[in-house]
Structure 1
């Protein structure tokens, strides 16, 4: 037999599931309903759902390559065995578990608690859905050994995920994740049935439900990031949690900062696993702001804010010079937050001489320019906030630098290290403060952004992505990376490529001089191309979605010139990408 039907491994895996699952299991019923869809079945079983450095994420459904209670148990078992290896103290400190508004999130969270409890590891689980940054805070506050959050962040409704955090409140570093991965791989079939029930775990003291004590402690810490308490709070705010977890904490945070004129988008206020009012619950997507913009026009709002389902990303929209609401990019909002933070700290006399900005390699260079103007150094990390958090911990241990601000272009910001992941709640309250600062001068955030461009140069950035699902899609993404790596472009938009950074080989190659220098970052399948005018573009596969992402960045003396450069570079690169996929 040839082709898909000739592959025996996925069929063997499927047959085991059909044989071992209970007759009334709805995942088993879904397999039977799709028994003639060979492509669907192969994709469910042709591999195990990948557990990477931050955990795993995938579509909900039956099979080894899907999110379901069985693959969640297998991952939780690996985590439990890792904790047991660390000893009795680690087991007693236990795991904090949070979950978002997605389908099966509460069920998956309980399965994690039941599985780790089976191995004698204590579990703390929130009584209701909570944001990811609160989970990060809770790990530190409760002095737990680890944390788990059930979320797929901003992915489509059919997805869910399992993210693991270390005792510092950050996503696991590679070494710890690698050990857990080994345990998972050696744990055998995911069809594990012998987990302890909830009642027994409660009776044994291995399961504790967490109330609002952690929320109150978080809100107390949140007030510490307020930089100017005298700024007018006469600011009209529209906020939408996009059916996710941020509603309570963002509103409480804004109130604590003194903001009273807060209008919540009612249609998107309550949790909804279908995210029924948006095509994608992602504040990076301008379409997610449609309802917020309608509210903003009705009440003449100064600022619109949206958070993703697990509340680690914040999107902001403000009026531009034509009076229309425009959604700021993550790079733009990050620059505004950074500049305001450094300015206020300098004015208050508490800008440390060893302060540092941490950003990712695909984040705008505008941040570096701003930080340099204030005498602050900038450090680049790989994409992923866990790498920023890793540096925060390192500098906390060594005292070499004082962390001031961390951000990535994908709408993730962090101002204070009581959380060790991007935090949309911190971001929302500071964004409101920055907007109030400009409003006191009869300006908008957009005016503030134009002032930054005028001072530091007109930076423009964009991101494009291609979604390629399934086995065939994974192979196409690999092909795109291989083509760019093996036959790299030399001229883009009439400009010569002068340097190629290959993070997989950890080597930067200067095309003009032939000089090669090592890249002192962990290996990653990422390529970055720098052009002769300091423009650049980057190619990387997503670590959490079936996507290949492309980042573009330019700088010019005018806004129009910058945008023209950006469009030209983006057009040429994507033309090449499309030709690779079609072949």
Structure 2
């Protein structure tokens, strides 16, 4: 069935919500919009399903949610009655339609005889991850699109280990979804009846205290929160972390936190920000304004679903936004140095980071005798490793992080947890302030000891089916004509995660990469520099990650800019 036939089928559907019927009317005479909405079906990426809301097979709506859930339900039933009885736990964020999608998901699971636990009100993504293991459910679902624009929503699926589904399981699940067939023909269930029967159990606050108590194990010295004169300005960016953050800091008797009031209440329009992404300095506009008022030492911003943390530090009257790599390095140094102080560093300790995350953290970990392991981009791969070593006992995972502001300190959650991160970074700031240092002072010392690491990310948006083709073709061209130089620097090796091969340019034998296949290319350059290119798994983007190391900040910055300019030029040609 082509996109035009699919569109007509939706047009003739007699029972269709008014918002979807209006959406169909708007695209009736726009073939490009029609093709984009109906030319393909939503599929799982590195973070599950994510896309724009609206009418169409390539949009998030009650029908595509129902189809995805039906497929997962069949998968669960095929895993046996015990797994169906263990069931699924569901939470949702503050986005438009999130609660409605969560209710539809719960109803469809119940309709297929699967026990379902549904949060009555929104809870953060890491609490959902924790809830899977706390309730011993077989799976979990989080309705969220993280920090994407307001028109987006998503559907993240978790396994019984509390981590997002790994590639193998995601592939199996999506095969069941693809067999479901016509999403418009699936019957609608009765939510209220399933609640009355007990097949859907509503969660109110039962798990909150358990999760909060786990969070309170993060600090090394809880007394620091009571005694410090540290001043913090916090914003949840109209998301759902405000409740959790206020609760845990109240329990720690921390009195130095001011909250951006205009951004405290959940709001799916994110009205006061251009982007509710703590990676963007614009997201800190209100926090900076309020920070000046109280001379805050730290500005802390958490994204709408509560899993990413952004940090800005006061320096000479202004605020400097830390990168995810810098925050990760500071947190890692504080964590390992305090563990060493308390004689808690295990001999088999290990940190896990992604292949696009700075080598800065690895250098810091090496200093403490702690090993580092790289995984593919996406926190699901960190969660997968945590479970692997939890089962084998080979390594004790001390910290997991990625450059895109995701951190995990303790594994009671198996996804990035901004609630954990905000506790650790605040305690670190209080600890170092007691010594007369800011987090920037600590960062400068680490650079002097380990070298100046600098990184940047370039994201190129290519929307629609045509955009997806351009991105695919660009990666194909890179493989057909391997790069020998990027700017003035020679390529010493190419890591192709699609073929799982490392190819050396000096003629040395190639090596295999012991990671899952992924459409990613990484170029290792001279002088500790590298470039990695990959399509986003959750957004219509192609991303270029660039990292360098040098003896001085000035030299590192110059090196980074040269590589960035040269690689953008290469990719601009390939994307045409």
TM-score normalised by structure 1 residue count? 0.97
Residue 282 of structure 1 is aligned with which of 277, 281, 284?
277
Query: How do 1:297-376 residues align onto structure 2 when only pairs under 5 Å count?
Result: 297-320=292-315, 322-376=316-370
Residue in 2 that maps onto 1:234: 229
Query: How do 1:365-444 residues align onto structure 2 when only pairs under 5 Å count?
Result: 365-444=359-438
- Give deviations 1:59-88, integer Å, cap 9, x for gaps: 001000000000000000111111111222
Matched residue of 1:191: which SS? Answer: helix
Q: Please say if residues 126 and 211 of structure 1, whose CA atoms lie closer than 8 Å, have aligned partners that are also in contact.
A: yes
Matched residue of 1:352: which SS? Answer: coil
1:23 & 1:240 partners in 2: Cα distance? Answer: 38
Following TM superposition, by how much is the alpha carbon of 1:229 offset from its aligned partner in structure 2, in angstroms? 3.0
Following TM superposition, by how much is the alpha carbon of 1:228 offset from its aligned partner in structure 2, in angstroms? 2.2
Alpha carbons of structure 1 residues 477 and 508: separation in structure 2 relative to 1, 3 Å: same
Alpha carbons of structure 1 residues 352 and 21: separation in structure 2 relative to 1, 3 Å: farther
Q: Please say if residues 73 and 192 of structure 1, whose CA atoms lie closer than 8 Å, have aligned partners that are also in contact.
A: no
Structure 2 residue 284 is the aligned partner of structure 1 residue 295: no
- Give deviations 1:279-318, integer Å, cap 9, x for gaps: 1110011110011011111110010000111111000000
2:564 & 2:257 partners in 1: Cα distance? Answer: 38
Q: Structure 1, unaligned stretches of length 5 or more? A: 1-7
1:416 & 1:456 partners in 2: Cα distance? Answer: 26
Q: Please say if residues 330 and 412 of structure 1, whose CA atoms lie closer than 8 Å, have aligned partners that are also in contact.
A: yes
Alpha carbons of structure 1 residues 92 and 324: separation in structure 2 relative to 1, 3 Å: same
Matched residue of 1:273: which SS? Answer: coil
Query: How do 1:72-471 residues align onto structure 2 when only pairs under 5 Å count?
Result: 72-231=65-224, 232-320=227-315, 322-471=316-465
Q: Please say if residues 233 and 258 of structure 2, whose CA atoms lie closer than 8 Å, have aligned partners that are also in contact.
A: yes
Q: Structure 2, unaligned stretches of length 5 or more? A: none
Q: Please say if residues 134 and 218 of structure 1, whose CA atoms lie closer than 8 Å, have aligned partners that are also in contact.
A: yes
Alpha carbons of structure 1 residues 140 and 570: separation in structure 2 relative to 1, 3 Å: same
Matched residue of 2:456: which SS? Answer: strand
Matched residue of 2:20: which SS? Answer: helix
Structure 2 residue 45 is the aligned partner of structure 1 residue 47: no
2:523 & 2:426 partners in 1: Cα distance? Answer: 36
1:318 & 1:248 partners in 2: Cα distance? Answer: 23
1:375 & 1:368 partners in 2: Cα distance? Answer: 10
User: What is the root-mean-square deviation in Å for CA atoms of aligned residues?
Assistant: 1.2
1:577 & 1:291 partners in 2: Cα distance? Answer: 36
Residue in 2 that maps onto 1:5: none
1:109 & 1:496 partners in 2: Cα distance? Answer: 51
Query: How do 1:10-25 residues align onto structure 2 when only pairs under 5 Å count?
Result: 10-22=3-15, 25=18
Equivalent pairs counted in the alignment come to 574
1:117 & 1:236 partners in 2: Cα distance? Answer: 47
Higher alpha-carbon deviation: 159-168 or 86-95: 86-95
Following TM superposition, by how much is the alpha carbon of 1:260 offset from its aligned partner in structure 2, in angstroms? 1.4
Residue in 2 that maps onto 1:523: 517
Higher alpha-carbon deviation: 53-62 or 409-418: 53-62
Matched residue of 1:20: which SS? Answer: coil
Structure 2 residue 559 is the aligned partner of structure 1 residue 565: yes
Matched residue of 2:207: which SS? Answer: helix
Following TM superposition, by how much is the alpha carbon of 1:230 offset from its aligned partner in structure 2, in angstroms? 4.2
Q: Please say if residues 46 and 537 of structure 2, whose CA atoms lie closer than 8 Å, have aligned partners that are also in contact.
A: no
TM-score normalised by structure 2 residue count? 0.98
1:25 & 1:33 partners in 2: Cα distance? Answer: 12
Following TM superposition, by how much is the alpha carbon of 1:553 offset from its aligned partner in structure 2, in angstroms? 0.3
- Give deviations 1:431-488, integer Å, cap 9, x for gaps: 1001111111111111111111011111000101100100111111112211222223
